[in-house]
Amino acid sequence: RTTVASSLIASVEWNEETHQMKFIGVKEASKPMERTKEVYEEFVNAESVGKYYNQKIKGTPAYSNVPPVEAEF
């Protein structure tokens, strides 16, 4: 589990066995999402994980497993 600096996302996990990324929201946890290790690395190393989430994760096919997050960045 990697802690990130975000008002929406508390931490991110990568499961090497299942190749799934899971982020833990400040208020609630998400379900695992099918993502690549590259996306996970980009996400945890982004200057703003909230912006990365809104630009590259929200609205994509695997996003259907993710609860909605509403915020301005």
Instruction: Reply yes or no on whether the pLDDT at 68 is more than 60.
Output: no
In this prediction, residues 56-72 reach a mean pLDDT of 58
User: DSSP for the chain?
Assistant: -EE---SSEEEEEEETTTTEEEEEESS-BPPPEE--HHHHHHHHHSS-HHHHIIIIITTSGGGGGS-------
- Write down the pLDDT at residue 29: 61
% of the chain residues with pLDDT over 90: 7
pLDDT tens digits, residue range 26-54?
776 666 677 788 888 998 899 998 888 88
- Write down the pLDDT at residue 45: 92
